[in-house]
A = this chain, B = another copy of it.
């Protein structure tokens, strides 16, 4: 028999995809292994064969999300305008994938609790996001692309916060929120150059 490993990897992918959907719908705490397993076409005991417990499945989902984001948008570009452009591209991609936004918003709110299994992940996630954007704003300040009086530190924090806040409002009332346009508006108000 060949392909045993391949089959295992495919099955794991099915489970992860189902978990992403369910987490987005009902959050991590609201999810059940039985529901996720059913959507992946196995029993919940079968799921536990691939992931030893509920938390390990969440960890795998978060790891995969980071890997996919990094590969697609390359948010680690050279600091500067290009990094901000890639965040806009990420927002644009998200508009076509509300499920991903759902997942992220729900988990971020849950993970505020210090004993939530994803808490440390989001602490790191926010720190890295702020640091990356901060570097870019600093570089742009040095080259005169940042409006006078704009503190790069605060600009970085508010940019990330605005993205998150817009996403929740967009999910709640999709027809009344222009996700990408609002971010562009904000960036233009900070910069001396166009996007």
Contact = CB atoms under 8 A, between A and B. Distances in A.
A168 B109 contact: yes
Contact of A105 (B29, B109, B151, B181): B109
A55 interface: no
Interface in A151-180: 151, 154, 157-158, 160-166, 168-169, 171-173, 176-178
A30 interface: yes
A26 interface: yes
A126 B169 contact: yes
Contacts of A150: 189
Nearest to A30: B29
Interface in A63-117: 102, 105-106, 108-113
A172 B111 contact: yes
Given A108-B172, A112-B172, 4 more contacts: A106-B112, A157-B169, A158-B166, A189-B189
Interface of A: 25-27, 29-30, 102, 105-106, 108-113, 119, 122-123, 126-127, 130, 147, 150-151, 154, 157-158, 160-166, 168-169, 171-173, 176-178, 181-182, 185-186, 189-190
Contact of A110 (B106, B130, B147, B158): B106
Contact of A168 (B26, B158, B164): B164
A7 B130 CA distance: 50
Contact of A161 (B106, B151, B182, B190): B182
A29 to B, nearest CB: 4
Contacts of A25: 113
A133 to B, nearest CB: 13
Contact of A166 (B102, B112, B165, B178): B165
Contact of A109 (B109, B113, B166): B109
